[in-house]
Amino acid sequence: MKKLIFLLLIIFLQYLFAEETLTLKTLLNLALERNPEIKSLKEKVEAQNYRIAPEKALPEPMIGFSIKNIGIDRFSVGEEMMSGIGISFSQKIPFPGKLKLRGEIAEIRALRTEEGLKSFTLSLIGKIKELYSKLFFYNRGVEILEKKKEILGKALKVAETRYSVGEGIQSDIFKAQVEISKIEEELILMKQMLNTVEREINSLLDFPPEKPLGKPEEIPFYEMKFELNELYKNAERISPMLKEAELMIEESKKEVELSKKEFYPDFMIEGGKEFKGKFKDMYEIMIGVEIPIYYKKKQENLLKESISNFNSSKNNYISMKNEVFFMINENFILAKASENLIRLYRERIIPQATLALESSLSNYQVGKVDFLTLLSDINNLFSYEMDYYKELSNLWISVSKIEALTFLKIIGEN
């Protein structure tokens, strides 16, 4: 009974202190919920939407009060015909079309901010997937090095046994000990890189840098099923980065139209009433027109500025499109190369290296191969395993970048 209780206690403690599994879906949800930049951009989008209505509204009207008095030694309102107390109302009215254009510019600016939010969100999702794959690789790297250390420990024991019975040489023992020390050095560096990735993820999630994240799940192998031309078309059609650049062109075009409207005068309408006491009240209506006499210095330069901005935004779109296509092409090539290497490692190289190590270990025990051959086979197998997981991580990184550029979902979330 005591043994059963003790066994159950061990199982409970193992469960209690087991490392929590970290899923990609959990990370993505936390990033979208907690990332400060996402929050900032959402507020900016809301602010830009609030800006639309004021841009369409008329300028604020003005109410004025006045008093006309004959002399300063007495109050003459009601006694003198020229004296009176007046109240007036004035409203500035922009030339027809100006308010409409300002509203349209504000609407486009709000849409551009929304596309910027989408673009950053996609970039953040891609970054999280990239860091998740690195986190997986470094975790798996630590496991591979620990496993390699264990195999080297077994080889060391065999070398010691053979030396003790006079069948081996002492240098084999020293070589094994050196290899184990090298593994310990590699483990320190691998854990350091693992810690760096964890801190970077925590910064994106707005967590303390030292917060533990848990062990990532196995990342699956994804084939790039899209052709390069499909990726180009999708990016050109719905990529938020390019949509934002397109909206910049549209906004600049509206700015040019508004600059042309600025050559036309705005109007001022004013009406008022003057109270004269026992005399009849007086009424006044006035219509004023602004005269753009300084158009050479003001309106013409503003038009030239808006035209330059328009041309700049068109060139910026072309430049950004070329950059997006280049990045898609580059990451597509990298993804395809990683795919081919992953298949090669998984289907041929690692199985062959495993058989070679098993053979070397068996043959070394009976003295059919030397220790250097055994060490070479150990190093080869675990080097290939490390390369396999590195390429799997590289595949995720490349595909994550393609997703952010094309608005496609290729990598799933568990």
Tens place of pLDDT per residue across the chain (414 aa): 444 444 444 443 333 334 578 898 999 999 999 999 999 999 999 999 999 999 999 999 999 999 888 888 888 887 788 888 999 999 999 999 999 999 999 999 999 999 999 999 999 999 999 999 999 999 999 999 999 999 888 888 888 887 787 777 888 888 888 989 999 999 999 999 999 999 999 999 999 998 998 899 888 888 888 899 999 999 999 899 999 999 999 999 999 999 999 999 999 999 999 888 888 888 889 999 998 888 889 999 999 999 999 999 999 999 999 999 999 999 999 999 999 999 999 999 999 999 999 998 888 887 888 888 888 999 999 999 999 999 999 999 999 999 999 988 887 654
Contacts of 29 (CB under 8 A, 6+ apart): none
Q: What is the pLDDT of residue 414?
A: 43
Which domains, from first to last, does the chain contain?
Answer: 21-406 (1.20.1600.10)
- Amino acid found at 65: F
Closest by CA to 267, choosing from 292, 298, 300, 294, is: 292
Comparing CA positions, the residue from 136, 103, 127, 161 lying closest to residue 23 is: 136
Tokens of 253: 């075009």
Contacts of 37 (CB under 8 A, 6+ apart): 120, 124
User: With the CA atoms of 134, 138, 139 and 142 taken in that order, what torsion angle do they form, in degrees rounded to the nearest 10?
Assistant: 170
User: What pLDDT sits at residue 412?
Assistant: 64
Predicted confidence at residue 220, as pLDDT, reads 86
